[in-house]
Amino acid sequence: MKSTRPRESIRSGLADLAPLGALAPRLLALLFALVSAVVVGPTVARAHLGHAVQSAERYLKVDFEGGHVRVVVSLMLGPGEAARVLRVADREDGDGDGTLTPTEADAYLARWGVGLGEDLVLELDGAAVRVDWGEAYLDPSGPISHRPATVEMIARVPLSAGEHHLVLRDGMRRETFERTDVAFSGHDGAELVASGVGEERPSARVPAIAFAGARGPDVFSAVAVVEGSSRGGGLPGDAASEGPAAGHPLGDFGALEAGALAVVILVSAGLLMLWRRRRP
């Protein structure tokens, strides 16, 4: 006669897990909330960091040079607005003591640069480009007072020899800018062929565009030839993104966040299987 103890042990073990199976739907809901916090939370925080600015004059520059194109975003803040924004930086990335140190300014600008990658989307020769706004300047630092300030963010996109078509999509909160000036240039081995508004290849060279508030265009484009080839023989840019496109929520997904998401998915799958087994 065969022993029934192993089967009884299995049944007893499943009975012990019954409370966990009953809690599975709630645990799944909790894990879903955790996934949202891991994936969506950091993205939203980054995307809205630059929204601390409520009033400024803005300057955008697209500067083609031999080997790369330099994109510059400069914000000029008046005395009152500058003091308010610097206090935000001191509170969020510093100790809130009323003095913004260079280290605190760099930390604030680094987070701002990540959000700027979602607000200003670049496309090179028809492909989205991931850019790093790693060159950032904020002046002045030190004790916060009512005096003008300048914020400048710079990104560089490598270019191969040939003709290139660059598109800049402006998703910044343009209504907060009293004035926006956009300039295009080419030098040191790069020639600006055409520039203007819209995503289509421009037919003329418009070196500068200015508008107030949100009434101006939100897409700009330029064509340039990098030394080493003739016009019309354009080669794909070396900087075409191999990963998620700039501005995509997963574009800045870190290894830690990816690992946490993998654990959450595995645990969720296990709980779901257990819950289905325990259903009558």
Residue 110 backbone dihedrals phi, psi, to 5 degrees: -65, -45
Q: Is 59 helix (H, G, I), strand (E, B) or coil?
A: strand
Query: Which amino acid type is present at position 136?
Result: A
Q: What per-residue confidence (pLDDT) applies to 11?
A: 53
Asked if 246 contacts 121 with a C-beta cutoff of 8 angstroms, the reply is yes
pLDDT at 92: 84
Structure-block tokens of residue 251: 């574009």
Environment class of 55 (CB within 10 Å of its CB; exposed 0-12, middle 13-18, buried 19+) = middle
Is cis: bond before 19, omega within 30 of 0? no
Q: pLDDT tens digits, the chain, 280 residues: what are they?
A: 444 555 555 455 445 545 545 555 555 555 554 544 444 444 334 434 456 788 999 999 999 998 999 999 999 999 999 999 999 889 887 888 999 999 999 999 998 898 898 899 999 999 999 999 989 999 999 999 999 999 999 999 999 999 999 999 999 988 899 999 999 999 999 999 999 999 999 999 999 999 998 889 999 999 999 997 444 433 333 333 333 333 333 344 444 455 556 655 665 666 666 656 655 5
110 touches 151 (CB < 8 A): no
Report how far residue 126's alpha carbon sits from residue 183's, in angstroms, rounded to the nearest whole number: 21
Give the containing element (helix H, strand E) for 183: strand 177-186
| DSSP H helices in the chain | 5-47, 79-93, 102-119, 255-278
Angstrom distances, CA of residue 235 to CA of 98, 200, 221, 239: 51, 18, 17, 12
The model carries a pTM of: 0.66
Cα distance between residue 203 and residue 210, in whole Å:
19
- pLDDT score, position 94: 81
In this prediction, residue 61 carries a pLDDT of 97
Locate 162 and state its tokens.
Answer: 């040939």
Q: Is 88 helix (H, G, I), strand (E, B) or coil?
A: helix
Calculate the alpha carbon distances from 68 to 52, 54, 134, 153 in Å. Answer: 31, 32, 15, 16
Q: With H, G, I as helix, E, B as strand and everything else as coil, classify residue 145.
A: coil
The β-bridge partners of 143 are 99
